[in-house]
Amino acid sequence: MKRPLSLTQSQFQYIVEQSEAILEKHASDFSIVGNAWLNVLHSHPSIQERYVRVFHKRTVPELITDVLRGAVNILAGLIRSLTMIFKTPGLSKIKPQTDVLFISHLLNASTPKHAPDFYFQELPDYLQSQGYHVAVGLMNHVPAFKGWVDDETASAQPEKFVLPLQLAPVAELKIISRALRTAFFFFRQYLEEKDPLRKSFLRELSGNTLSPHTLRAYRLYETLVPVIRQTNIKTIAFTYEGHSWERMACHAAKTAPRKIMAIGYQHTILFPSSHSIKKSRGAAYDPDLILTVGGVTRGILMASGELRNTAILEYGSPRLKREPVYTPVGETVNACLVTPEGLVNECMALFGFAVKAAIAMPETSFIFRTHPTIRFTDLQEEEPLLRELPPNIILSTNKNIDDDFKRSSWLLYRNSSVAFFAVLSGLRPLYLQIGAEISDDVLYALKSWRKTVTDLSDLEKIFAQDAHTSSEERTAEREEAFAFCRKYMIPYDVKVFEQFIKEGAMHA
């Protein structure tokens, strides 16, 4: 399977610099701050896809196809919005006395309505039990979702609803007209620009002003404003990664006629290239508080020096159920766990390399564990290399990844946060660097124990070295890594959140 186009480090930096210049110049313009394309998250391959066409121009047929696809999507959205005239959106059920609103995500249509939230877990239920009136709004990532089976629930539980994919026609036209005005604003600059590279940048920016990501950001703002007006909401909390929709949530809170606190939850890993999460967009668009998964990410955000309007506190992660206990590294198990993210291209890259490694190193077992959203059989249909697997490749069927950790000594990974939990379980993390790509190693700040692999010879050397190193020596080497990961992600404490909203005032 052919690798997708990617950016070089200098190209990525060009995108960042051009985007920041525009955002700083137009910091007071709601429509531009809400543009998803300008808020560069990081250089992960899935994000690079948005920007590669600045440097690799589309062919004329590709350009025509993209324009037509965008027009069809907008028209289809307007048609779907007509159905909203006859529907009562779930958010209309929010009780007027609601004082805490969470914005989270619907990722799985089969999840029961009142199961703990994927990101905030039992925090909404805990606050409800403490006398707060709580609602949870979910951004819908499952377009085919038809509603919950267990929709009738006790009134004591936090109200949960799905944020609409479309609003009523008047609101949708308002959103689209805002996007069109911004698109024409940049298109005029494109026509006047003489520099070929910046001209290409402005062309892509013009088109992406009408992207689903930007329209969703505008739509969230238009959804929150009337909700705020009709309720007693005092706090809005949301996952925080640097997306433009998060800025729109902040803006809805900050422009309300009463004081509303905006709290962002940095719930996931930070890459070496993580960018917009560290930037201030102005008091009207910045959260009052960012809760982090641990001390390392809090330190990274603090060190940026950019978050002038925001307090930053350690909160923890529900992915870590308890404080990890350090145990010495045991004898080397001649097995390497391979765990890609839930992206087909990343699966192909990691599994493809591992198949070649398994053929070259038949004495070592390679345990393939796919992301829950990926089926290995689907990968095999696309990639012939994965169809005939050598006997030392094992396809994991374990539900609990801890069972795979126990039978491995190494983890071969790319951009997955699984690397942290592997280190806490005693595995040596091996980051696969492909060619001259931008590194997005999630353990980039870890200076010991972790190794980088660029080819099969690197892998062979590491396996051989560990085979001839005593468990005592490897335990000593791993101690710093364990301490790092233990600090990076800590067990979460719901009382940290409660204490902040109790105090009411924020001290940046």
Short-list 246, 256, 235, CA closest to 100: 235
The CA distances from residue 240 to 19, 63, 232, 487, in Å, are 20, 33, 23, 20
**381, containing H or E segment:** helix 376-382
CA gap 115, 489 in Å, rounded: 23
Task: Please tell me the distance from the alpha carbon of residue 164 to that of residue 160, in angstroms, as a whole number.
Answer: 13
CATH architecture of 335-488: 3-Layer(aba) Sandwich (3.40)
**Backbone phi and psi for residue 255, each to the nearest 5 degrees, phi listed first:** -100, 10
User: What residues are paired with 102 via a beta bridge?
Assistant: 136, 237
What is the spatial distance between Cα 486 and Cα 200, in angstroms, rounded to a whole number?
44
Q: Residue 455 has what DSSP assignment?
A: S
Can you tell me the distance from the alpha carbon of 364 to that of 179, in angstroms, rounded to the nearest whole number? 55
Return d(Cα 103, Cα 236) in angstroms, integer. 7
pLDDT at residue 506, rounded to an integer:
42
Q: Where are the alpha helices (DSSP H) in 234-304?
A: 244-254, 295-304
pLDDT for 323: 78
Q: What is the end-to-end Cα distance of the chain in Å, rounded?
A: 49
31, two tokens: 């429509």
Q: Which tokens is 313 given?
A: 């506190």
pLDDT at 155: 55
Q: How far apart are CA 381 and CA 62, in angstroms?
A: 26
Separation between Cα atoms, residue 259 and residue 227, nearest integer Å: 15
According to DSSP H, which parts of 263-327 are helical?
295-304
C-alpha span between 365 and 354 (Å, rounded): 10
What tokens were used for 186? 């940049």
Identity of the amino acid at 50: R
432-462 pLDDT, tens digit each: 999 888 998 999 999 899 999 999 999 999 9
Whole-prediction pTM:
0.89
Query: How far is Cα 218 from Cα 247, in angstroms, rounded to an integer?
Result: 10
- Alpha-carbon distance 457 to 478, whole Å? 23
Amino acid at 78: L
Q: Which residues contact 438 (CB under 8 A, 6 or more apart)?
A: 6, 7, 8, 9, 12, 43, 48, 273
DSSP code of 421? H
Q: State residue 104's pLDDT score.
A: 96
CB atoms within 10 A of CB 474: 20
Amino acid at 216: R
As annotated, the residues of the chain forming the CATH 3.40.50.2000 domain(s) are: 335-488
Average pLDDT by consecutive 10-residue portion of the chain (508 residues)? 81 98 95 97 93 87 70 72 59 82 90 88 94 93 78 68 85 90 94 96 92 93 93 95 97 94 94 96 95 95 92 90 79 92 92 97 97 90 93 95 95 93 94 91 92 96 93 90 93 89 56
Instruction: Tell me what pLDDT residue 502 has.
Output: 81
Q: Give, for 214, the enclosing helix (H) or strand (E).
A: helix 212-230
Helix axes 471-488, 295-304, angle to 10 degrees: 60
- The SS3 assignment for 397 reads coil
Mapped onto helix, strand or coil, the DSSP state of residue 312 is: strand
- Confidence (pLDDT) at 63: 65
Of 53, 46, 55, nearest in space to 349 by CA: 46
Cβ atoms of 439 and 272 within 8 Å: the answer is yes
